[in-house]
Structures are given as structure tokens and as C-alpha cells.
Structure 1
Amino acid sequence: PPECANGYGLRCMAENVHEWCLDWYHAGAYDDPGAGEREPAERARKVSRGGSWRHSVKFTRLTARASLAPERRYNDFGFRLYADA
């Protein structure tokens, strides 16, 4: 319905695909905010955010955070473009 559109007129943008993030995965990232910016020597997984159409509701929330090896490819992963204003 048009009433649920955002300010750009887009609707239903949640739960389409997981989003790859630039940060390296670190289980304690919330306790050490700079951890994701340091390239890991012993861990080689990137952060993914959000959820996709392929998973159960538990994993499709926008705040979902997971990790995967960056060389992996899936049809429900993507990325978001952004620019500083």
C-alpha cells in the first residue's frame, strides 16, 4: 500500500537480501567498536547484516548480524551503496 512507502516512495525494502559489510567479523564488536576495522590474522569472515527471503523470520530482521567467508557467494546476498552528503 502507498501509505507504507518511505520518503523516496519505496516500499517493502526489508528482508530482500542480506547485506555484505566492509567490517571484519569479531564476536565482541559491540564491546570493542574498532574491532571490525582491523584486518584479522586469525579470522577471515566478513559481517553480513539484515535478512533475506530465504530464511526464517528469526533471521530476517534488519538488525540481524552474522558472518561469512568473503569468497562465498549466495543468491540472497547483496550490498548497499552509500555516499557522504
Structure 2
Amino acid sequence: SRGTLEQHYTEALLQRHFRLAGQFLSLTEKTGNPQYAAWVPGSLNRLGRFLANYAPAKDITPLLASAVPEIREGMRRSFSFIR
């Protein structure tokens, strides 16, 4: 059904945002190239934008926002299409 598809798509986006932030940090450490680290804040900001309207994550969102300033900043500018 459409609702199930939307739910799976939304969950895939959430996983992607987490993965990208971690991947950029990992590349920075593995290669010693600080250029990758420049992408981490944007990835975390987009994660915050996503989480701002994602009801299933409402229990963990305050913890993430308090620990990661980029997530907190992103939550101030939420995406409008996430449910």
C-alpha cells in the first residue's frame, strides 16, 4: 500500500542521513583528509531537518538534539513532506 511504501522510504532516508554523517567521519579518519569532515555538519543538519517531523523518532530526537548542535539547528528548518 502507499502508506507502507512511504514508511519504508522514510525509514530509508533516516538511515541514509545517519550513514552519510558516519561515512564522512570515517573517511576523514581513514584518509587523513580533512576535506571530508567539512561535509559532516551539513549531513547532521539534514538529519535534524528530517527528525523534526518524523514522529516515530520523537523519543530519541530530544537526546540527539541536545548532544549534536548541527541536528538541533537542522530541526529549526524542518522538511514539510516528512510525516
Q: Which has more strand, going by share of residues?
A: 1
Please say whether Structure 1 and Structure 2 have the same fold, judged by a TM-score greater than 0.5.
no
TM-score grouping bracket, smaller chain normalisation: under 0.3
TM-score, normalization by structure 1: 0.22
Q: Whose relative contact order is higher, 1 or 2, with alpha carbons under 8 Å and at least 6 apart?
A: 1
User: Which one has the bigger helix percentage?
Assistant: 2
TM-score by length of 2: 0.22
